[in-house]
Structure 1
Amino acid sequence: MLTAGVDLAAERAGTAVAVVRWSAASARVEDVILPAGDDAVLAAVRAAGKTGVDCPLGWPDAFVRYVTAHQDGAAETASGDKAWRRGLAWRHTDEIVRATVPPIVPLSVAADKIGHAALRCAHLQSRLAAEGRPVDRSGAGPVVEVYPAASLRIWGLPWNGYKGTAQLAARIELVDQLRAAAPWLDLGAFADRCVRSDHVLDAVVAALTARAAACGLTAGPAPDQLGAARREGWIALPTVALDGLMPSPG
């Protein structure tokens, strides 16, 4: 089984792809691409059984409705206060993450710079759809939305403070702890790249989360949440420890 992880940025320079091959007793990082253009991302999705994408797959329903009404000159605002803005800025899945994995708060795809990456993600989704591979944004398909910080937090690993060129020591510690928690994971020749680039490291974590999703080991939307998840996207949160990604011996 192959899983892929994509740390998707607005531009190829900040986008990394990691491919992990799974066997009965081990997992091996088979390839890493940084920088990764659109064709490299799409090739990984085509090759993998499941791809975890670290980027919102859609926008909040309430935001879309309000902007559409505003464009038509028919938007009404009850108060315009912080609570009202929050209701437009975050998706249902973002609020689930906020409540489930504190103190993590996902970036708002409607009101933050991550919206630029989401526009690129929307373009990639349209290309996949044109190939006959439409993306189910709820995660019930070959692509699933992931959030590496949340996965790391759930797995008891350092989840913040490792981003950026100045945080080399923090990434060394995180990679060491990841290897200790998952001795079956072979980073191989790409261990140093995980240390040198938080984009590569996040792509590897995204590929691990994709494995959890592929095995039915993530929290999916409830029936009454499914419609919104298919429009807005749904962040897959692992429901097992890192060791749970490998089959039990015997």
Structure 2
Amino acid sequence: MVTVGIDLAAEAVRTAVAWLDWSDGRARLVRVEVGADDALIVDAVMGAAKAGIDCPLGWPDRFVEFVTAHRAGHVRVPEGLAGRAWRRDLALRVTDQVVHEQTGLTPLSVSADRIGHATMRCAAVLAELARRGQPVDRRGGGVVVEVYPAACLKRWELPYRGYKRAANLGELGRLVDRLLEAAPWLDLDDSEALCRASDDATDAVVSALAARASALRLVTVPAAEQAEAAGTEGWVALPTAPLKSLAASRCP
């Protein structure tokens, strides 16, 4: 099977796509593209068994309701709440709050941080997939699943901070070293140098690994009371098994 990882940014220049081919207990990185445009992303997803996208798939429901109410001039602050307590559910999705509870990490707010620009782009990609007959289940039940590389790395007991940007290439190299030590079945092939030079490429590889975990059902899924919100806001699939399980297990 082939899993795809997409480190999605607002513009193509900081967007990377990675393809992992899984066979006989091994995974080979067959291709990595940095500077990926929408057409390449859509084609990659269409050809994958599972694709992990590192980007929110939607906005908080309460934020959408807030903007709608504001436009109509009917915003009301809930009784007994003020300041951050009131704004929390506007800034963070249900899944963001679950990620924080389970990992201690807080994803960027899609409604209050610049990552909202990437989600606008993501929305267009999801719409194109639907037009091609591949509608997306934002809860992760279809070919696309939302992933969070930092949380994956932390759960797999790998370095998850301090490797971003050109000033931290040494840390990025150490992350790649640790990843290959923890996953001797992972072959980065001719793209290893690119992964050591580009954190976008490495995040795309981690996203492809997370997509494999999702395909194996070794990730968190929404509880019954979270399913409705996850269907509109998106759901970050957190790994629930060690990294070695990805090669040892077979898809159901």
Taking structure 1 as the reference length, what is the TM-score of the superposition? 0.97
Q: Is 1:185 matched with 2:168?
A: no
Paired residue secondary structure (1:21): strand
Paired residue secondary structure (1:219): coil
Q: What letter matches 2:85 in structure 1?
A: A
Paired residue secondary structure (2:39): helix
Paired residue secondary structure (2:19): strand
**1:75-118 alpha-carbon deviations (Å, 9 max, x no partner):** 1123541111112100000000001001x110000000000000
**Which sits farther off after the overlay, 169-178 or 126-135?**
126-135
**1:29-85 alpha-carbon deviations (Å, 9 max, x no partner):** 010111100011001101100000000000001101111111111111235411111
Alignment of 1:78-117 (within 5 A): 78=78, 79-102=81-104, 104-117=105-118
2:59: which partner in 1?
A: 59
Paired residue secondary structure (1:20): strand
CA distance in 1, matches of 2:154, 2:7: 17
Q: Considering only aligned residues, what root-mean-square deviation do their CA atoms show, in Å?
A: 1.1
Shift of 1:154: 0.1
1:118: which partner in 2?
A: 119
Quote the sequence identity (%): 52
Pair 1:157–1:70, CA change in 2 (3 A): same
Taking structure 2 as the reference length, what is the TM-score of the superposition? 0.97
CA distance in 2, matches of 1:218, 1:36: 27
Shift of 1:248: 5.8
Alignment of 1:163-182 (within 5 A): 163-182=164-183
2:46: which partner in 1?
A: 46
How many residues in Structure 1 have an aligned counterpart in Structure 2? Answer: 248
CA distance in 2, matches of 1:172, 1:129: 38
CA contact (8 A) 1:12 1:36 kept: yes
1:221: which partner in 2?
A: 222
Q: What letter matches 2:195 in structure 1?
A: C
CA contact (8 A) 1:24 1:247 kept: no
Pair 1:248–1:95, CA change in 2 (3 A): closer
2:5: which partner in 1?
A: 5
**1:223-245 alpha-carbon deviations (Å, 9 max, x no partner):** 22111101000000000000010
CA distance in 2, matches of 1:127, 1:210: 20
Where does structure 1 differ by over 4 angstroms across 4 or more consecutive aligned residues?
none
Paired residue secondary structure (1:218): coil
Alignment of 1:136-151 (within 5 A): 136-151=137-152
Consecutive unaligned residues of structure 2, counting only runs of 5 or more, are: none
Shift of 1:6: 0.2
CA distance in 1, matches of 2:226, 2:158: 29
1:210: which partner in 2?
A: 211
CA distance in 2, matches of 1:73, 1:248: 54
CA contact (8 A) 2:32 2:201 kept: yes
**Which sits farther off after the overlay, 138-147 or 216-225?**
216-225
Paired residue secondary structure (2:248): coil
Shift of 1:247: 2.2
**1:121-178 alpha-carbon deviations (Å, 9 max, x no partner):** 0010111111121110000000000000000000000000000001011011000000
CA contact (8 A) 2:57 2:122 kept: yes
Consecutive unaligned residues of structure 1, counting only runs of 5 or more, are: none
CA distance in 1, matches of 2:249, 2:21: 18
2:153: which partner in 1?
A: 152
2:36: which partner in 1?
A: 36
